[in-house]
Amino acid sequence: MKRFKKVVRIGVPLALATGILWWMYRGIGWEELEEALSHKMSWTWMLLSMPFGILAQVFRGVRWRQALTPVGERPRLSTCIHAVFLSYASSLVVPRVGEVLRCGVLKRYDGTNFSRSIGTVVTERIIDTLLIFLLSFLTFLTQIPVFLNFFHHTGVSFASVLGGFTLTGWLVTVACGMLALLCILLLVHRVQLFSRTKSVLSDLKKGLLSVREVESPLLFMLYSIGIWVSYFLHFYLTFFCFGFTSELGVTAALVAFVVGTFAVLVPTPNGAGSWHFAVKTVFVLYGVEQTAAALFVLIVHTLQTLLVALLGVWSLLALAFMKEDFFAFRKSRII
């Protein structure tokens, strides 16, 4: 049974991502991709975008440490940042496993209470969700015609939901719905495991409420905003890598960013497939040619995913050396 669960958790998301990617790129030749990488792309802008991808994760690690302080946990800042790097990299293999893994990293290397750290992670996610919904609402208000056109082209029609789907749209929707249901069931199962004892439930509650007692709520909120501003710049600067996206403007980037953020909720490795399809569709609605839009999302997503993987490898190596300093760190805390 355990082996079957592992196969489902890893195999199904990979199969879904592979299927969507194959369907999107089945008519594009490798020579077109090579031409785009060699002659049609500005690598300078791509390199300029990368530090913001790193900065977003650093902000997340700093904010997490701040949230842990009110519950009596004081892990090293470097451990928090490495744990975040490693969590994103691990989610490339098993979607959604990173949140649990980074709490395990803090417990192993700095002795942080696992249940309390899980509580703070849940709190972080709630805050992030509120921020992205606020951004989505503001973007939607300014771009209602574009979003309505997007819903129409993707089969999500407010006027006729049932009649708007193509066969492919139904298959993708059903598959995504089943995976979302599976994620909910796994989450419920984990919560049940965490709450088997009263002490664990109490620790989880403390973690959830930690944000109310942070030393500087304003600083905490600035870190939260900084995370999403960095993510947006990480994405927006890549627009200037190609002539066909450099003139789209900030508004189009916001729309694509919001749509892409919701697309990665589909449990595929780093949103592979779902993010490609959603962002490509937005570009097409703004007048970008189909093949050019597909090449953009393929190149940008691949390079940004490679950055996540490299940060994970770096943190894995760094944590291996940090293990020897654990007892010295604990001793200094006691003193």
Binning pLDDT at 50, 70 and 90, where does residue 87 land?
Answer: very high
Contact 13, 7 (CB under 8 A): no
| Identity of the highest mean pLDDT range in 44-58, 119-133, 263-277 | 44-58
Dihedral, CA of residue 179, residue 184, residue 188 and residue 191, to nearest 10: 100
What pLDDT, on a 0 to 100 scale, did the predictor assign at position 9? 63
176 sits in the region (left: phi over 0; alpha: psi -120 to 50; else beta) called alpha
- Backbone φ and ψ for 289, nearest 5 degrees, come out as -65, 145
Distance CA 85, CA 32 (A): 33
What pLDDT, on a 0 to 100 scale, did the predictor assign at position 233? 95
What pLDDT, on a 0 to 100 scale, did the predictor assign at position 334? 47
What is the reported pTM? 0.77
What pLDDT, on a 0 to 100 scale, did the predictor assign at position 55? 97
Residue 104 has pLDDT above 80, yes or no: yes
- Residue 271 belongs to a domain: yes
- Residue 77 belongs to a domain: yes
- Residue 2 belongs to a domain: no
What pLDDT, on a 0 to 100 scale, did the predictor assign at position 82? 95
What is the overall mean pLDDT for the chain?
78
For residues 308-332, give the mean pLDDT: 75
Residue 157 has pLDDT above 50, yes or no: no
- Residue 335 belongs to a domain: no
Contact 312, 89 (CB under 8 A): yes
Residue 306: which domain range?
Answer: 39-324
- Residue 27 belongs to a domain: no
Residue 223 has pLDDT above 80, yes or no: yes
Binning pLDDT at 50, 70 and 90, where does residue 8 land?
Answer: low
End-to-end CA distance of the chain: 48
List, in order, residues 6 or more apart from 29 with CB less than 8 Å away. none
Contact 319, 78 (CB under 8 A): no
Distance CA 59, CA 161 (A): 40
Distance CA 125, CA 89 (A): 18
Residue 61 has pLDDT above 90, yes or no: yes
**81 compared with 332, residue with greater pLDDT:** 81
- Residue 20 belongs to a domain: no
List, in order, residues 6 or more apart from 168 with CB less than 8 Å away. 23
* Lookup result for tokens 């649990």: 100
- Residue 104 belongs to a domain: yes
- Residue 7 belongs to a domain: no
Q: How many domains does the chain have?
A: 1
